[in-house]
Amino acid sequence: MSNWDVEKIRRDFPVLSQKVNGNPLVYLDNAASSQVPNIVIERGSEYLKNEHSNIHRGVHYLSQKATTAYEGAREKVKRFINARDVKECIFVRGCTEGINLVAYGYGRKFVGEGDEIIISAMEHHANIVPWQMLAEEKGCVLRVIPMNQRGELIIDEYEAMLNERTKFVSIVHISNALGTLNPVKQMIESAHKFGVPVLVDAAQSVPHSIIDVQDLDCDFLTFSGHKMFAPTGSGVLYGKQELLETMNPFMGGGDMIRTVTFEKTTYAGLPNKFEAGTPAIASNIGLGAAIDYLNSIDRQSAIAYEHELVEYATEKLSAIEGVKLIGTAREKASVVSFTIENVHPHDIGTILDQQGIAVRAGHHCAQPVMQFFQVPATARASFAFYNTREEVDVLADAVQKVIEVFA
């Protein structure tokens, strides 16, 4: 194992030291929501105690403090993902809102009847349903990049799918159901040869890789704070300025306008044009603090450590008779999905919970992935850099016990 000081890191996350059902908590549901470090909790508390106010509109002291903190968080986001300008970083409630915003603001303006939108076979519902809604409304066609039995996209088929009717590509970076890491940089390059913009669903990749939007050359990228050690309600949509400027606003209301009369409204510039109403001020300030936290640790080592944990968990679980891994891509991160012969994944989840182990059991909002692998659901262990090798051992022992109970 790499010399990652996991015990020191764990002390930053107070929730991890509790007992659940008489056992030490083993938190392996990080793909759903990760835990929050002290620095984020303290920043949120400081804001609520001393700075809470509405932003942008007030001339008074507290409003200015809150505005400075909120816009400071945006600046941190910009540096974190290497955007060119803060105008390109829109605060949203999370990845779902980010994708809907683009399907609405870009899709409804630029996609028409007979046009094609490409997504993949391993998308989260958040990256399927908004495009389906658009397709129903506009008469455009949704095309789906297939995957192989390992849970890897068939890139040749994707390349063959791109044509002059393709108007948009929206693709997941790391699959939450399978853990597959997709070659998005290469996929973006291929789409750009046809002048097609690409959105990257980075919900799972922002916490587990280093994202540089300029290097990827993605046109849009979106992620949720609650999967990257920040509170729920925070999140970001990155978009290239020239695209965001051509788009329609998503929601209308306060803060997104320049002037309003009953005859006509003119819109504010970026990023406000896409931030109607009072945003999640405290949560997004917390997102800024989570970025500070990530900047304070050695991320390359954290990523390498997580990788080792996933490999170790894969090795241990696949050695248990009756366990089947779902998603065995060569490039993977964070997630180990599995089924146990003759045991429903919900029963796995419930029995593990009795031992203090939190895993997710279900379709992981990726029903087409379950249909492809012909399973009703899977149990999913998903890791963060505060998990330990011992926790993997506890998980593997508990899975073995599940098999014995149902034998």
- Give min distance, CB of 95 to ligand PMP, in A: 4
Give the nearer residue to ligand PMP in terms of CB position, either 52 or 125. Answer: 125
- What are the C-alpha distances in Å from 3 to residues 67, 311, 335? 40, 16, 22
Q: Is the peptide bond before 197 cis (omega within 30 degrees of 0)?
A: no
**Among residue numbers 8 through 47, which ones bind ligand PMP (CB under 6 A)?**
31
How far is it, in rounded angstroms, from Cα 32 to Cα 380? 10
- Give min distance, CB of 367 to ligand PMP, in A: 13
User: How is residue 46 written in tokens?
Assistant: 């400081």
**Among residue numbers 267 through 296, which ones bind ligand PMP (CB under 6 A)?**
none
- Give min distance, CB of 300 to ligand PMP, in A: 23
For ligand PMP, the binding residue among 16, 73, 95, 396 (CB under 6 A) is: 95
For ligand PMP, the binding residue among 30, 166, 204, 355 (CB under 6 A) is: 204
Q: Which amino acid appears at position 191 of this protein?
A: A
With CB under 6 A as the rule, give the number of residues binding ligand PMP. 14
Give the nearer residue to ligand PMP in terms of CB position, either 243 or 365. Answer: 365
Give the nearer residue to ligand PMP in terms of CB position, either 93 or 143. Answer: 93
Could you give the residue numbers annotated as active site? 365
For ligand PMP, the binding residue among 34, 67, 224, 334 (CB under 6 A) is: 224
Give the nearer residue to ligand PMP in terms of CB position, either 115 or 286. Answer: 286
Q: Examine residue 361 and tell whether it contacts ligand PMP (CB under 6 A).
A: no
CB atoms within 10 A of CB 61: 10
Q: Examine residue 96 and tell whether it contacts ligand PMP (CB under 6 A).
A: yes
H/E element, 190: helix 184-193
Give the nearer residue to ligand PMP in terms of CB position, either 31 or 184. Answer: 31
How far is it, in rounded angstroms, from Cα 195 to Cα 119? 16
Give the nearer residue to ligand PMP in terms of CB position, either 201 or 219. Answer: 201
Choose one: 39-47, 79-87, 88-96, 208-216; the region binding ligand PMP (CB under 6 A). Answer: 88-96
CB 283 within 8 A of CB 233: yes
Choose one: 12-20, 62-70, 120-128, 162-170; the region binding ligand PMP (CB under 6 A). Answer: 120-128
Give the nearer residue to ligand PMP in terms of CB position, either 4 or 158. Answer: 158
CB 188 within 8 A of CB 217: yes
User: How is residue 271 written in tokens?
Assistant: 């990023």
* 71 contact partners, CB below 8 Å, separation of at least 6: 86
Contacts 24+ apart (CB under 8 A), 248-255: 248/104, 248/105, 248/108, 248/109, 249/105, 249/273, 249/274, 249/276, 250/100, 250/101, 250/104, 250/105, 250/274, 250/276, 251/276, 251/277, 252/276, 253/277, 254/57, 254/278, 255/56, 255/57
For ligand PMP, the binding residue among 55, 101, 126, 213 (CB under 6 A) is: 126
For ligand PMP, the binding residue among 12, 116, 152, 201 (CB under 6 A) is: 201
The residue whose two tokens read 């890139």 is 155
H/E element, 76: helix 61-81
Choose one: 92-100, 250-258, 265-273, 318-326; the region binding ligand PMP (CB under 6 A). Answer: 92-100
Give the nearer residue to ligand PMP in terms of CB position, either 94 or 249. Answer: 94
How far is it, in rounded angstroms, from Cα 192 to Cα 266? 32
For ligand PMP, the binding residue among 103, 135, 153, 172 (CB under 6 A) is: 172
- Of 67, 42, 56, 91, which is closest to residue 233 (Cα–Cα)? 91
Q: Examine residue 124 and tell whether it contacts ligand PMP (CB under 6 A).
A: yes
CA 20 to chain centre: 27
Give 164: exposed, middle or buried? Use CB within 10 Å, 0-12, 13-18, 19+: exposed
- Give min distance, CB of 225 to ligand PMP, in A: 8
- Give min distance, CB of 221 to ligand PMP, in A: 12
For ligand PMP, the binding residue among 37, 44, 94, 286 (CB under 6 A) is: 94
The DSSP letter of residue 383 is -
Q: Examine residue 380 and tell whether it contacts ligand PMP (CB under 6 A).
A: no
Q: Which residues bind ligand PMP (CB under 6 A)?
A: 31, 94-96, 124, 126-127, 172, 176, 201, 203-204, 224, 365
